[in-house]
Amino acid sequence: MDNLRFDVVKEAFRKRPVKLEVTNERPSEQFGKYVFSRDKMYKYLPVDIFNKMMDVMENGERLDRSIADGVANGMKKWAKDHGATHYTHWFQPLTEGTAEKHDSFIESDGKGGMIEEFSGKLLVQQEPDASSFPSGGIRNTFEARGYSAWDPTSPVFIIDDTLCIPTIFISYTGEALDYKAPLLRSLRAVNNAAKEVCQYFYPDVKKVHTNLGWEQEYFLVDEDLFFARPDLMLTGRTLMGHDSAKNQQMDDHYFGTIPERVQAFMKDLEIHSLELGIPVKTRHNEVAPGQFELAPIFEECNLAVDHNMLLMALMKKVAHRHSFRVLLHEKPFAGINGSGKHNNWSLSTDTGILLHKSGKNTNDNLRFVVFIVETLMGVYKHNGLLKASVMSATNDHRLGANEAPPAIISSFLGRQITDLLEHIEKADKQNLFTVKGKQGIHLDIPEIPELLIDNTDRNRTSPFAFTGNRFEFRAVGSEANCASSLIVLNTAVAEALTNFKQRVDALTEQGEDQMSAIIEIIRQDIKTCKPIHFDGNGYSDESVQMFEAMNVMKRNELKARNEVKWETYTKKIQIEARVMGDLAMNHIIPVVTHYQSRLAKNVSSMIDIFGKEEGERLTARNVKILRDIAEHIQAIETGVDELVEARKIANKIDCQREKAIAYHDIITPKMEEIRQHIDKLELIVSDEMWTLPKYRELLFIR
């Protein structure tokens, strides 16, 4: 039996970097080259239209459709100047990816010819077919109509010859079929709630921004090796494969010298990212071999989410140019670290960051405590929903392992903040503060003036850790849309702040001083959220009420997303199970049987040459191997048969939730049992006969 694996591996290790075009441009000069940014708008739009667009983008004013034609005309001129011939509405359906339908600028001139045209109507709204996108039952398959609507707060950009317009995606009856629409609603909810609480301390605050800084982890594998692994191609992870003798145990890959081929890929990716306005800043080797990380400068949340979705698509495209494949699966290889996408979340106003430990004055410090505690209240109250927002068939393999936080959502604050909150909780209320007229308040808390630096280590095991001026939500998976978890977090915090203000106002209406009321409610909430733990149903009536009260999602939209998550989980495990069965029966067993036959011939020949007694003594090891192989083959064949039958039973379950549970509790364990036998056979069968690239070849880039 010929084995092409060695030729594939040899070719992969011979790869050289793609030669990059030399450019004299600095990163700051490349930034935003293909983005219709504010400076481009100023150049291509009439002054009055430009000013109205700034009102929309900066002040949240409703888009006046009367200016749409003028904006579209300026966009078209700019796009044509950069060689664009097509446009598309770029949106984020519930598939974890992005979607686009390209149309050319040409229209009939009514005289048998063509003209290039792009109207405000085409800019603002399109009607893509909604029937084939996940809807969780909101839309029937025969109800095709859906609408994409321009999001003017996220700038349009050009990829190749296409003008890409970020949009929301809704059904004919108005329900959100995407991530962006509820994300925008959640951002509005946070702004409204946080602004009112801010005005207790700073009456001039007009707007609160939500900021996001994501950290994208990923694996690179050689493209030739990728194509030699059907499981990687079809599922994004290796369904089988024994540990490499050396993997990450030496900790020598983390922050190590970046391999030459990877460096070339990273440089190319950075150039394209900067041209599309993605402010990439950090690159480095991650803990596992073949694993890397890229992180940008913090941005406004909606824009940051768009940029992350754009980057993930861009990574795959650029990697192909360098003969790599990007793996965004949270756990593509067993036995080594998986990949996450840490979401660094914060709130800010035009006066500063709300979670910043400034220590400048008592007013600032009390404001800091309020926003820390109410964020914790949101996490405490909707812990289960936050957990549900990051769970998936792929992230399930990563959460709870040594390299990732546990699936139960808890928060790490550090000793200084913890001590501060305990002091506020336990101190005598009468002696905790005194009001000094227009000068504000004086707090009897010696720790507060010292909130200047981070004096505690980071806790890498905490799913939701406070890291100086932000919370780091570390449970988000590598290939996930950041918006999924941020919709929940934003809404939960908005609800907590709204509830906080209602209770404070109720006390002041009873005659209590406002600052006294603030501290009284904070003391209550510190006690309430202290034991953050999972104790609820993520889709309970309480959670539905939160989304509805904050005008983020209606009950049927939330129910639909729940259905989509269950269905997606089932489908991913279903594909993995089918691929595993195919690989086991059509790749592994034929190779193993061939090796078994070779060993059997060796035993038979030795007995013929040396006689029965001496021959059996000399071939005892091979006989044991033959027996082991036979047992593993039998276990695999039985396991695959049981796997198929279990799948048939599970597929008959009508309830999507129950079906997903069956796949998790029954199908997945059966797959793991089959894998154990295959991985042991990998160590037994002759290396020259094993057809699938092994971990030692996949993980280490030459």
pLDDT digits (tens, 9 = 90+) for 455-488: 444 555 678 888 878 999 999 999 999 999 999 9
Q: Averaged over 507-533, what is the pLDDT?
A: 87
Residue type for position 533? H
Q: What is the pLDDT, as a whole number, of residue 437?
A: 36
How far is residue 467's CA from residue 472's CA, in Å, rounded to a whole number? Answer: 7
Q: How confident is the model at residue 98 (pLDDT cuts 50, 70, 90)?
A: very high
CA–CA dist 37, 45 (Å, integer): 11
Give me the pLDDT at residue 141, please: 61
Most confident of 91-100, 211-220, 374-383: 211-220
* 482, 212 contact by CB (below 8 A): yes
Distance CA 71, CA 66 (A): 10
Return the structure tokens found at 534.
């999972």
Confidence bin at 52 (pLDDT 50/70/90): very high
Q: Is the pLDDT of residue 18 over 70?
A: no
Report whether pLDDT(681) > 60: yes
**Helix, strand or coil for residue 212?**
strand
Amino acid at 600: A
- Using an 8 Å Cβ cutoff, are 640 and 581 in contact? yes
C-alpha pair distances (Å), 679 with each of 42, 416, 577, 600, 633: 61, 48, 16, 22, 12
| Residue 482, CB-side half-sphere exposure with 13 Å CA sphere | 29
First CA to last CA distance, the chain: 28
285, 292 contact by CB (below 8 A): yes
More confident residue, 542 or 202: 202
The 10 Å Cβ neighbour count of residue 657 is 16
Q: Over the stretch 151-167, which tens digit does the pLDDT of each residue have?
A: 999 999 999 999 999 99
| Residue 333 to residue 197: CA distance in whole angstroms | 46
Strand 209-222 versus strand 341-349 pairing type: antiparallel
Q: Residues 342, 538, 478, CA angle at the centre, nearest 5°?
A: 20
Mean pLDDT to the nearest integer, 61-81? 90
With both helix axes pointing from N to C terminus, report the angle between 301-321 and 482-509 in degrees, rounded to the nearest 10: 170
Which residues, in sequence order, are CB contacts of 236 under 8 Å at separation 6+? 327, 328, 329, 332, 394, 479
- Give percent above pLDDT 70 in the chain: 88
**Residue-level pLDDT at 428:** 65
Q: Three-state DSSP class for 701?
A: coil
Query: How does 616-640 read in b/e, with b if 16+ C-beta sit within 10 Å?
Result: eeebeeeeebbeebeebbebbeebb
User: Across the strands, what pairs with 158?
Assistant: 163
Q: Are 396 and 388 in contact (CB under 8 A)?
A: no
Predicted local confidence at residue 65, as pLDDT: 81
Nearest CA-CA partner of 685 in 588, 585, 580:
588
Over 50: is that where the pLDDT of 440 sits?
no
Q: Which one, of 270, 310, 350, 318, lies nearest residue 28 by Cα?
A: 270
Residues 6+ apart with CB under 8 A from 576: 231, 235, 237, 239, 671
pLDDT > 60? residue 361? yes
Region 663-680: mean pLDDT is: 96
Name the least confident of 195-199, 234-238, 447-451, 494-498. Answer: 447-451
Contacts of 75 (CB under 8 A, 6+ apart): 36, 44, 118, 123, 156, 163
Percentage helix, strand, coil for the chain under 3-state DSSP, each rounded to 5: 50, 15, 35
Instruction: Assign 3-class secondary structure to 239-273.
Output: CCCCCCCCCCCCCCCCCCCCCHHHHHHHHHHHHHH
DSSP state letter for 145? B
- Both tokens of 639, joined, read 């396991």
> How high is the pLDDT of residue 451?
42
Query: What is the pLDDT averaged over residues 16-37?
Result: 76
Q: Where are the beta strands (DSSP E) in 45-85?
A: none
Radius of gyration of the chain (CA): 29
C-alpha span between 214 and 53 (Å, rounded): 28
Contacts of 224 (CB under 8 A, 6+ apart): 8, 11, 12, 323
Q: How confident is the model at residue 671 (pLDDT cuts 50, 70, 90)?
A: very high
Between β-strands 209-222 and 291-296, what pairing exists: parallel, antiparallel or unpaired? antiparallel
Residue 630 in 3-state DSSP? helix
Q: Which of 664, 671, 579 lies closest to 393 in space, CA to CA?
A: 664
The answer to whether 367 and 229 are in contact (CB under 8 A) is no
Residue 215 has pLDDT above 80, yes or no: yes
Cα(342)–Cα(600) distance, rounded to whole angstroms?
53
Per cent of the chain over pLDDT 90 is 62
Which pair of structure tokens corresponds to residue 617? 């003594």
What pLDDT shows up at residue 222? Answer: 94
pLDDT category at 452 given cuts 50, 70, 90 is very low
- Tens-place pLDDT, residues 168-192: 999 888 889 999 999 999 999 999 9
Asked whether 235 and 580 are in contact (CB, 8 A), the reply is: no
User: Is 242 in contact with 694 (CB distance < 8 Å)?
Assistant: yes
Helical residues (DSSP H) of 406-481, grouped into ranges: 415-426, 429-432
Residue 173 is classified by DSSP as: T
More confident residue, 454 or 594: 594
The helix or strand, by DSSP H or E, that contains position 172, with its residue range, turns out to be none
Which residue from 406, 562, 391, 409 is spatially nearest to 477, judged by alpha carbons? 391
The C-alpha atoms of residue 552 and residue 170 are separated, in whole angstroms, by 14
- Give me the pLDDT at residue 455, please: 45
Phi, psi of 384 (to 5 degrees): -65, -35
Contact 615, 607 (CB under 8 A): yes
Let me know: does 180 contact 167? Beta carbons within 8 Å. Answer: yes
Picking from 140-144, 257-261, 557-561, which range would have the lowest pLDDT averaged per residue? Answer: 140-144
Hey, is 298 helix, strand or coil?
A: coil
Among 260-269, 310-319, 509-518, whose mean pLDDT is lowest?
A: 509-518
pLDDT single digits (tens) 291-325? 999 999 999 999 999 999 999 999 999 999 999 99
Q: Which residue has the higher pLDDT, 185 or 701?
A: 185
pLDDT at 403: 64
